[in-house]
Amino acid sequence: MIIERPSYYDNFKCIADKCDFTCCRDWTIAVDDCTFASWNDKKLPRQVAEANNMSLDQTLTSFVETHNESRRIVLDNGKCPFLDCNGLCHIVSQYGEECLSKTCHTYPREDIRFSEYELKNLTLSCKTVVKHLFDQSVFSVLSEKVSGDSFIDTEDEHCPNYLIELQQWLYTLVGEYKDVSAADILKAVFYILLDLIEQDIDDENEDKYQELIGLYKNSATIKKILDTITDPSSQTDSLDRFVEDNELLMDLFVRYYEQGKYSEFIKPVFEKAEELEGLIEDGVAIELYEKYVSEIGDKYEDKFKLIVAEELWSSLIVSYYDIETMAVKVQWLAIELALLKHYMFIHYTIYGHLTDEELIHIVAVLFRTTGYCDDDIIEYLEDCFEDIIWEWGYMDLII
């Protein structure tokens, strides 16, 4: 059994009430069956009952609702009703951390387990995690081999070796090619996955996949791909990219804007994007963007590379994955990178500055608002694009 985790994984510790971007607001807080059962005989903390004019005899389950066959906490103006005025949890204060739901107890940790491999990750929707990532010079993974029985014995939870080999290799490209941008590395990864898809190999034919992956690992092959991608004569027009990325940002943020979620972050950015849309035709918008690029340049390229490496490592492997689903996750990462860059530009345009701390906050907001489950990602791509797997040109357009 192999267990992998980011090099900074063990350094993470929730800062609780010191956090200015609490995870106890504006998104679904799931309540698992075991937690719900245990809450049935736990009375509401006095402060919660009094604040909501409820009886002290009512239980924690009073704030749980069923939605689409799953349970979740009913939020109060976007915030968890168990969150106190100091940013601490009433449940933890009265019953201890062991009484929390699985979601609250584990966040921002994410574990993916197979019969022979476990991946332990920390999601970038938490500011403290982003800070840990940005403290690294290069994204690296600690690998530990443990003896004993596998976690899972069922065949359904076996991940094909070629997928693990592919994932293990792809994220290292970011650190290996130091002079290549995060966007161009991501394009190269997408190019490789598209080619594997076009080969139309049976998913069970692991030997053929591993043979092709071996060919791609050849440094001359990668260099040829990167040379093609970075050829100045084939670069996308900056205005076309600006227009598409601005539309993407408005499309992904409109629901949060209309619902008032994360309004202190989303509202000014969304409204500025709408304003910029009206300034495209007369050239003002692209002038503002080019001014931003000239002043910021590639100052944050090292941060982009850390994000892309971490996400290639953490998001490309789930037990039911195949090459097509890997490509879908790379597409979603490209959308996130495009939105991140455009969000940064708009923030700079509004406020006239972009500090390292502000970038950390922007990354956390972005990954919290785009942290869709796989089914939702697929649904979004099906609704917005003619084919769920893009043509190469669209990837090149947005990043």
Residue from 253, 191, 257 nearest 224 by CA: 191
| Mean pLDDT within 40-60 | 95
The confidence score (pLDDT) of residue 28 equals 86
Q: Exposure string (b/e) for 109-120, b if CB count within 10 Å is 16 or more?
A: eeebbbbebbbb
The CA-CA-CA angle for residues 268, 274, 279, to 5°, reads 120
The confidence score (pLDDT) of residue 235 equals 81
Q: Which two tokens stand for residue 162?
A: 């070629």
The C-alpha atoms of residue 154 and residue 177 are separated, in whole angstroms, by: 39
Report pLDDT digits (tens) over 362-390. 999 999 999 888 888 999 999 999 999 99
CB 160 within 8 A of CB 393: no
C-alpha count within 13 angstroms, C-beta hemisphere, residue 368: 27
Q: Which amino acid is at 108?
A: P
Indicate if the alpha-carbon torsion angle 298, 299, 303, 306 is positive or negative.
positive
The C-alpha atoms of residue 57 and residue 159 are separated, in whole angstroms, by: 48
CB 390 within 8 A of CB 359: no
The C-alpha atoms of residue 142 and residue 138 are separated, in whole angstroms, by: 13
Would the pLDDT of 149 be above 60?
Answer: no
| Mean pLDDT within 29-49 | 95
The total of other beta-carbon atoms located within 10 Å of residue 356's CB is: 12
**pTM metric for this prediction:** 0.93
Q: Which amino acid is at 367?
A: F
Percent of residues in the chain assigned helix, strand, coil, to nearest 5: 60, 10, 35
Report pLDDT digits (tens) over 180-223. 999 999 999 999 999 999 988 887 788 888 899 999 999 899 99
Report pLDDT digits (tens) over 260-272. 999 999 999 999 9
Q: Which amino acid is at 213?
A: I
Would the pLDDT of 153 be above 60?
Answer: no
Helix (H, G, I), strand (E, B) or coil at 88: coil
CB 181 within 8 A of CB 304: yes
Residue 171 pairs in a beta bridge with none
Q: In Å, what is the CA distance from 109 to each residue of 78, 237, 330?
A: 22, 39, 21
Report pLDDT digits (tens) over 310-367. 999 999 876 566 899 999 999 999 999 999 999 999 999 999 999 999 999 999 999 9
Q: Which two tokens stand for residue 386?
A: 């003619």
| Mean per-residue pLDDT over the chain, rounded | 92
Report pLDDT digits (tens) over 259-312. 999 999 999 999 999 999 999 999 999 999 999 999 998 999 999 999 999 999
The C-alpha atoms of residue 329 and residue 360 are separated, in whole angstroms, by: 22
Indicate if the alpha-carbon torsion angle 189, 342, 238, 324 is positive or negative.
positive
The C-alpha atoms of residue 83 and residue 198 are separated, in whole angstroms, by: 51
Q: What is the DSSP string of 288-324?
A: HHHHHHHHHTTTTHHHHHHHHHHHHHHHS--TT--HH
CB 169 within 8 A of CB 217: yes
CB 117 within 8 A of CB 164: yes
Q: Is residue 148 very low, low, confident or very high in pLDDT (cuts 50, 70, 90)?
A: low
The C-alpha atoms of residue 179 and residue 300 are separated, in whole angstroms, by: 14
Q: Which two tokens stand for residue 82?
A: 């168990």
Q: Where are the alpha helices (DSSP H) in 199-300?
A: 206-216, 219-230, 238-259, 263-277, 284-296
Would the pLDDT of 119 be above 80?
Answer: yes
Q: Is residue 90 very low, low, confident or very high in pLDDT (cuts 50, 70, 90)?
A: very high
- Residue predicted with more confidence, 226 or 161: 226
